[in-house]
Amino acid sequence: MSKNLGLKKISVVIPMYNSEETIISTLNSIKNQTAFEQILEIIVINDGSTDDSLSFVKDYIAHNEEMKIIIIEKTNKGVSAARNTGMKVAKGEWIALIDSDDDWLPEKIEIQMKIIKEHPEIDFLGGDIDDRGLKILWKQINGLYKANVKDICLKMFPQTSVAIFKKNIFNKIGGYDENQSYAEDGNYFLKICTHYNYYHLPVAMVYYGGGKPGFGFSGLSANLKKMYEGNIKNIKELKNNSIISVRFYIFLRVFYWLKYIRRIVITKLR
């Protein structure tokens, strides 16, 4: 078990839609955290699943009474609305997001809470999904790093299931744009980065989606055109709010177009 890392407690938020094949593994990865004592509650938002996901979670609860798992049932309105529902009721000082097809590595929470205790200025902390570290264009990030909005525009990080941030952020700026279905994480994380201390630790902390590629494979990320359009929406909002310059916005339009074409090529060659 981990050493006492303070009194901070974490609400884990899991949006779930037709996840019968993965949700138990996700819950086990939370149960197996070396700093499990830091977790106050696990909020599972059943977003109108039509498979046996809900019954699987209920059965899991019956066999794991030591875990405080809360189920919220709602009609299907998408992952953004589901996350917002969970964050709204969260009672923890910190919110940790995880998707229902991802697994945390055992020391994920322990590592993050140790860093947060050592650096109380942190409002948001991310991590990696592999051992390659973080690279923003030509700049390799090798240690704890405070990111800015330009960084997030050039390289969207972290992956959602590694993010942990203060509940007070949600209280102040709200949650996800529920009308946006693509690049919605980037939209929300850019808002957080604009107003709060946004940090990243380049250490692997999650097993992502069963090891699938990050784009062009399945789910929403398979729709590369919609992802591209979502990213354009995000930077338009930044430009319109004078958070980025018109010159940087124009550069990003070209950069995102080239990235979009590159992803199409990579997807076709797999």
Closest CA to 7 of 37, 43, 41, 42: 37
pLDDT of residue 8: 64
pTM, to two decimals: 0.92
Summarize pLDDT for 195-240 with one digit per residue, the tens.
999 999 999 999 987 654 444 444 444 689 999 999 999 999 999 9
Is the Cβ–Cβ distance between 68 and 42 less than 8 Å?
Answer: yes
Distance (Å, whole) CA 105 – CA 109 = 9
Work out the number of other CB atoms within 10 angstroms of the CB of residue 165.
Answer: 23
pLDDT of residue 120: 96
Tokens 């980065």, residue? Answer: 193
Summarize pLDDT for 181-201 with one digit per residue, the tens.
999 999 999 999 999 999 999
pLDDT of residue 23: 98
Beta bridge partners, 136, equal 139
Strands (E) in 98-197, as ranges, are 103-104, 124-128, 134-136, 139-141, 145-146, 164-166
Distance (Å, whole) CA 104 – CA 162 = 8
Inter-helix orientation angle 184-195/224-240, to 10°:
30
Query: What one-character-per-residue DSSP string does 63-116 give?
Result: H-TTS-EEEEEE----HHHHHHHHHHH--SSEEEE--TT-EE-TTHHHHHHHHH
- Which residues of the chain carry a pLDDT beneath 70? 1-8, 210-222, 270
pLDDT of residue 223: 87
Secondary structure letter of residue 35 according to DSSP: T
Is the Cβ–Cβ distance between 19 and 48 less than 8 Å?
Answer: no
Query: What one-character-per-residue DSSP string does 111-126 give?
Result: HHHHHHHH-TT-SEEE
Q: 214 CB contacts (<8 Å, ≥6 apart)?
A: 129, 159, 208, 221
Q: 10-211 maps to which CATH number?
A: 3.90.550.10
Distance (Å, whole) CA 141 – CA 157 = 12
Residue extents of the structural domains in the chain? 10-211, 212-270
pLDDT of residue 216: 41
Q: Compute the radius of gyration of the chain from its Cα atoms.
A: 18
Distance of CA 251 to the CA centre of its chain: 26
pLDDT of residue 220: 43
Is the Cβ–Cβ distance between 175 and 86 less than 8 Å?
Answer: no
Closest CA to 207 of 62, 84, 32: 32
